[in-house]
Structure 1
Amino acid sequence: MTTYDEADLRHAAAAAVRAPSLHNSQPWRFRLRAGAIEVLADPARQLAVADSTGWAVRIAGGAAILNARLALAAAGTPAELVLRPDRAEPHLLARLTPGPARPPTYTEVDLAAAIPRRHSNRQPFWPDPVPPEARQRLIEAARAESGWLDLLVGMTALSGFAEIAQSADRVLRRDAGYQAEMSTWTHADSAPDGIAVLAGAPRAEPQDLLPQRAFADRRRAPGRDFEPEPLVAVLGTAGDRPQDQLIAGQALQRVLLTVTDAGLACSMISQPIEVPAARDQLRRSLGRSGMPQMALRIGYGQPGHPTQRRAVEDVLSD
C-alpha cells in the first residue's frame, strides 16, 4: 500500500475526534491530500481568552494525532509521521503517510480499543492506591512519545503542587472574560461539543486539596469528599516550541489511554499550565529543565460516560 484512501481517512478521523481538548472545543480538521492523511488546527475553534497562544490547540491536536496513528496501526496500516511539515501552512499540524504494512502490536490493539472508552472523570475517586506496576506503565507511556511524567509522592510534594494549582485557579476565576468564555462551552444538555453540566465536578468545598473547574453548581453527596492524598502526575517535554506541544499532546493521550486500559480514572488539571507564572513555579518545583504541559489526577473511580463529539463529516476538509 502506497497511499491512504477515503476509508482510511474516515477511520483515522473517527478515532482522532475522541481526543480531549480544552472545554471539549475540538479544534481540529482532517483531510486526504496526495494519499496522505493530514491533521489541521481549526482556528475558528481556538479559545480566544483561554488559549490566546494556541498551546491548547496544539495539545489537543497532538492527542488527535496519536489516536489517528493508533487506529491506523491497529488496522495494519501504520503511519509515518511528520509534524508541522509545511511552515507555509501554519495550521497544518501533521502529515501521516503509509508505512510498511505489518500486524499491530498488542499495545497498539489495547490502546486503540481504549479510545472510545477514555473520558475525564471529575468526580471524587476511591482511596485505593494506584499500584506500582500501573504507575510504571504510565511513566513508560509518556516516555514512548518523547515526554516525561513525574508522579508526585508524599504530602510535601502534593501540598506544594496544590498551592500552585489553587493560586492559578484563583487567577482564572477572577478573569471575567475567561469565565464568560467557559460558560459559552458549558451546556445543560448533551451537545456535540463543550462540557455538559453533569460531567462537571461538584461544587468546591474548603477541604478540597485540588481545584476543579466550576462547570456545575451542585453539591456533592454526603461522604463523597475528594481523596485526601490523590495521585498527581505532571507531564512535560524537553522544550516548549509548537512542535514540543504537539509531542506533549501525543504523550498525554498515550498516558490517558494507558490509564483507561489499566482500569483507572483520570482528570486533567490545566490551571497551573494556563497561568504563566504558575507554570514557571511548577517547573522550578519539579527541578526540571523541560516544561510542564499538563497535570493529571489519577485513581480509581466510579465509571462515567465519554462526552459527545461532532460527526466525522463535520471535521473533514477538502
Structure 2
Amino acid sequence: MVTQQLDAKTVTALVADATTAPSMHNAQPWHFRYVAAERLLLLRADLERAMPRSDPGNRALSIGCGAALLNLRVAAAHAGLTTDVRQLPEPGDPAQLAAVRLARPEETARVDDALARLYPAIRQRHTSRHPFDEKDIPDDVRTTLVEVAAAEEAVLLFPGAWHAETLLDLVHDAESRDATEPEGRVDLVRWTRLGTDADTAVDGVPEYAFGPRRRDGKAPWRDFAGRRPVADRGSTAFERRPHLALLSTPGDRPADWLHAGQALERILLEATLAGLATSLTSHPLESDDLRRLARDPMAGRGHVQMVLRLGYGPQGPATPRRPVRDVLDLD
C-alpha cells in the first residue's frame, strides 16, 4: 500500500505539542528527527542538558522525555494519526529513546480516542507552585488517575496519613541538604532565570514561575530562588494537608523511566481536565537513601519515580519553550 507522506507543517505541530511536557528544571532535554521516507519520528536525549549532580543516572531526564513522548502520542491521535512506538530501538545507543512511526488509521489500527480527548489539556497544563485549597479530591477522580497510570505500565498511589508525613519529612531533609551542601544547587542555579533573563528565556524556570515563598504549611516546595533576591515575590501560607501521590514502576531501568514519564504526563493531563492544579517534586528522589525511604512502607515494592501534589488552585504560569527549529531535524 502506498502511504501518504506527512508534510513538514504537520510534523512541526506535533513536536511543538510534544515539547510542552514538563522536565526537571524545565531543561527540555530532548531532540527529534523526522525521517520522512519512513514516516518515523525519532526521540533522542539531549545529553548536553543533563544534570550530573542532581540526576547522575539520567533518570529524571528520561522521565521528561517520556512525558514528551506521551504528548506526541496525544497530539498525533488528535490529528487523526496512529502511533507505533518502539522504546530504546538502538541497544548500542542508549540516548536514542524512542522511534515513533506515524500512520493514517486506514493504514493500520484506529486512532486512540482515549488519548485524543486529552489534547486540550496539553496547553492548559502548567506546574503550579502556589498554595492549593484544603479541599478533598473526589474518589472517582483518584480512581481515574490510578487507571491511566496503569495504562502506561506504572502505579499511582495516594499515601495514607502516616506515609504522607514521611514523604514531607523526606522533602524537608532534601531541603536541609541543599542548605548545608551548596554544590547540590549547582544544577538548579544553572536552570533558573532571574531579572531580565526571565523575560527572554526559552528554557529553565523563570522567576515569575517560582511562586511565593512558603510562610507556613506543609506542601512540598522547592525554593528556586534560594538566597537570591526576587522582586515582588512575597510569601504566603500553603496547605497543611497537601494531597500527595507517588508514581512508581516495577523496575528501575531506562525503559521503566520512559514508562514513568508517559504515565506522569497522562496523569497530569487527566488531572488538568478534571480541574486540578498540579506540581511535581523530585527533590527527595535525588538522593538514593531518601528515595528508598519514599516507598510504600506497607508494600515495600516498586521504585518511586515522582512525587505529585494535586489540588484545587491556580494553574500557574506557562514556562518558556525552545523554538521547534532548535529541537527538530527534518530529513
- Interval containing the TM-score (normalised by the shorter chain): over 0.9
Task: Give the match's secondary structure for 1:289.
Answer: coil
Aligned residue for 2:147? 140
CA contact (8 A) 1:166 1:210 kept: no
Q: For 1:277 and 1:284, locate their aligned partners in 2 and report how far apart those are by CA, in whole Å.
A: 15
Alignment match of 1:212 (pick from 209, 215, 221) = 221
Q: Which runs of 5+ in 1 are unaligned?
A: none
Q: CA deviation at 1:287?
A: 2.2
Q: For 1:286 and 1:2, locate their aligned partners in 2 and report how far apart those are by CA, in whole Å.
A: 53
CA contact (8 A) 1:5 1:32 kept: no
Q: CA deviation at 1:99?
A: 4.7
Aligned residue for 2:121? 114
Q: For 1:36 and 1:75, locate their aligned partners in 2 and report how far apart those are by CA, in whole Å.
A: 16
Q: For 1:179 and 1:221, locate their aligned partners in 2 and report how far apart those are by CA, in whole Å.
A: 22
Aligned residue for 1:11? 13
Which residue identity is paired with 1:84?
L
Deviations 1:47-84 (A, max 9, x none): 22212111111001100100011111111111011000
CA contact (8 A) 1:110 1:261 kept: no
Alignment match of 2:45 (pick from 23, 37, 41) = 41
Q: For 2:5 and 2:90, locate their aligned partners in 1 and report how far apart those are by CA, in whole Å.
A: 19
Aligned residue for 1:299? 311
Q: CA deviation at 1:171?
A: 2.2
Q: For 2:28 and 2:132, locate their aligned partners in 1 and report how far apart those are by CA, in whole Å.
A: 27
CA contact (8 A) 1:8 1:72 kept: no
Q: CA deviation at 1:104?
A: 4.3
Aligned residue for 1:229? 241
Alignment match of 1:201 (pick from 203, 211, 215) = 211
Please provide the CA RMSD for this pair.
2.1
> What is the TM-score of this pair, normalised by structure 1?
0.92
Aligned residue for 2:173? 167
Question: Against the structure 1 CA distance between its residues 284 and 298, is the aligned structure 2 distance closer, same or farther, given a 3 Å change threshold?
Answer: closer
Aligned residue for 1:29? 31
Alignment match of 2:272 (pick from 247, 260, 272) = 260
Task: Give the match's secondary structure for 1:192.
Answer: coil
Task: Give the match's secondary structure for 1:114.
Answer: helix
Q: Which runs of 5+ in 2 are unaligned?
A: none
Aligned residue for 1:126? 133
Question: Against the structure 1 CA distance between its residues 316 and 5, is the aligned structure 2 distance closer, same or farther, given a 3 Å change threshold?
Answer: same
Deviations 1:238-283 (A, max 9, x none): 1000110011000000001111111100110111211110111112
Alignment match of 2:61 (pick from 57, 75, 84) = 57
CA contact (8 A) 2:213 2:234 kept: no
- Aligned pair count reads 315
Alignment match of 1:93 (pick from 97, 104, 111) = 97
Identity value in percent: 35
Alignment match of 1:180 (pick from 183, 186, 204) = 186
More displaced stretch, 234-243 vs 287-296: 287-296
More displaced stretch, 289-298 vs 278-287: 278-287
